[in-house]
């Protein structure tokens, strides 16, 4: 568990550097279990920074979406770095953005935060609904300890963390200029048990499952907007001429939207689970994404977001790639 004093001292030291524009981290939210992204521009702002099991959001989303304002005549562009706190999955997003040249390495300063798993707010709200007072959280000896209005509560990690954390293979940052705290034990695997259980169902059973899920989709685009790998300036799914996806909210268009987005993430998804976390109708989007992760892993022995020097999957070529699936 990172010491808040050390975190804030490191942040103040970082933001005081001449080559740092601002730092992106987390702070306590306005109520309950919520946390919020926090942009630190002056050392005093660092006093609000936290890192705890409640810090779910992937801050790497902001790197590729940074506003690029026109430079006034006679002025020079601001080329200072953006500092960012990253968990393991967040750091994979940073690496994949670097691989795809969405960002430049010299433009970012990465502070790694080894992570033992973030809380699934839906699980927590089932246990303690309608909690408005601010809640603190910390990792303790493989458990998650919560400071609730009613007192302290301790839960086994497996009972309260998000599903993505139970399968996470990279809890420690894969890229960092400086790391906060010690590395944590890796407990995830590449067995894909969750996907294997789904694959044994018949085609009709799988379609019935997804038809019900896609029927509930309201096309709010929260999954796309929160995804650190959906950073195109203009999304192809928004285009009206030609119109790839109609604006109608129905099973046909919803299915086309969700499948198109999943395939756009093939060989790019870093399994941060943000799309599933923010979905207001609780569509299990990780099944779609992890199915493609499994195929990419098995067919191409490729894992996105772990090697800054790697080529993107679809632009790389290796003569020894398996070809059994090619007709």
Q: Can you give the residue range of the structural domain that contains 199?
A: 193-315
Residues 197 and 162 in one domain: no
Domain end, chosen from 179, 206, 240, is at 179
**pLDDT grade for 1, boundaries at 50, 70 and 90:** low
Q: Is residue 16 part of a domain?
A: yes
- Residue 323 inside a domain? The answer is no
Average pLDDT over every residue of 297-318: 89
Residue 175 and residue 69 in one domain: yes
Residues 11 and 145 in one domain: yes
pLDDT in the model for residue 280: 96
Evaluate whether residue 56 is within a structural domain: yes
Residue ending a domain, choose from 179, 211, 241: 179
What per-residue confidence (pLDDT) applies to 224?
94
Residue 174 forms part of a structural domain: yes
Total tally of structural domains belonging to the chain? 2
CA distances from 122 to 20, 231, 288 (A): 36, 27, 20
| 186 in a structural domain | no
Q: Are residues 30 and 172 in the same domain?
A: yes
Q: Percentage of the chain surpassing pLDDT 70?
A: 97
Mean pLDDT of 79-105: 96
Whether 224 and 267 share a structural domain: yes
Distance CA 61, CA 6 (A): 25
Share of the chain above pLDDT 90, in %: 80
Interval 275-292: pLDDT, tens: 999 999 999 999 999 999
Residue where a domain stops, chosen among 154, 179, 204: 179
Reply yes or no on whether the pLDDT at 326 is more than 80: no
Alpha carbon distance 23, 40 (integer Å):
5
Identify whether 185 is part of a domain.
Answer: no
Dihedral sign computed on CA atoms, order 57, 58, 60, 64: negative
Residues 158, 73 within the same domain: yes
Average pLDDT value for residue range 60-82? 83
Strand partners, 110: 84
User: Quick one: 119 and 234 in the same domain?
Assistant: no
Residue 187 lies in a domain: no
Model confidence over 186-229: pLDDT tens digits?
988 878 988 999 999 999 999 999 999 999 999 999 999 999 99
Whether residue 201 sits in one domain with residue 154: no
C-beta of residue 82 within 8 angstroms of C-beta of residue 60: no
């Amino acid at each position: 568990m990172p010491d808040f004093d050390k975190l804030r001292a490191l942040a103040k030291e970082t933001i005081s550097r001449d080559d740092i524009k601002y730092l992106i981290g987390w702070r306590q939210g306005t109520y309950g279990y919520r946390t919020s992204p926090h942009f630190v521009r002056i050392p005093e702002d660092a006093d609000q920074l936290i890192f705890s099991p409640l810090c779910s959001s992937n801050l790497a989303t902001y790197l590729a979406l940074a506003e690029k304002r026109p430079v006034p005549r006679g002025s020079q562009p601001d080329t200072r770095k953006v500092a960012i706190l990253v968990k393991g999955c967040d750091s994979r997003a940073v690496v994949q953005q670097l691989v795809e040249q969405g960002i430049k390495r010299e433009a970012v300063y990465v502070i790694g935060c080894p992570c033992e798993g973030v809380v699934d707010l839906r699980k927590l709200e089932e246990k303690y609904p309608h909690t408005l007072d601010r809640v603190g959280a910390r990792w303790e000896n493989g458990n998650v300890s919560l400071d609730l209005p009613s007192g302290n509560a301790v839960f086994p990690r497996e009972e309260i963390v998000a599903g993505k954390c139970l399968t996470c293979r990279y809890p420690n940052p894969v890229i960092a200029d400086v790391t906060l705290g010690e590395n944590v034990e890796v407990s995830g695997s590449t067995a894909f048990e969750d996907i294997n259980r789904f694959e044994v169902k018949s085609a009709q059973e799988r379609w019935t499952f997804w038809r019900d899920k896609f029927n509930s989709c309201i096309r709010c685009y929260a999954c796309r907007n929160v995804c650190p790998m959906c950073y195109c300036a203009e999304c192809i799914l928004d285009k009206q001429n030609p119109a790839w996806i109609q604006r109608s909210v129905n099973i046909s268009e919803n299915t086309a939207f969700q499948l198109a987005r999943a395939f756009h993430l093939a060989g790019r998804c870093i399994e941060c689970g943000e799309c599933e976390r923010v979905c207001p109708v609780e569509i299990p989007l990780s099944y779609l994404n992890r199915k493609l992760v499994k195929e990419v892993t098995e067919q191409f022995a490729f894992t996105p977001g772990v090697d800054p020097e790697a080529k993107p999957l679809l632009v790389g070529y290796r003569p020894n790639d398996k070809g059994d699936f090619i007709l």
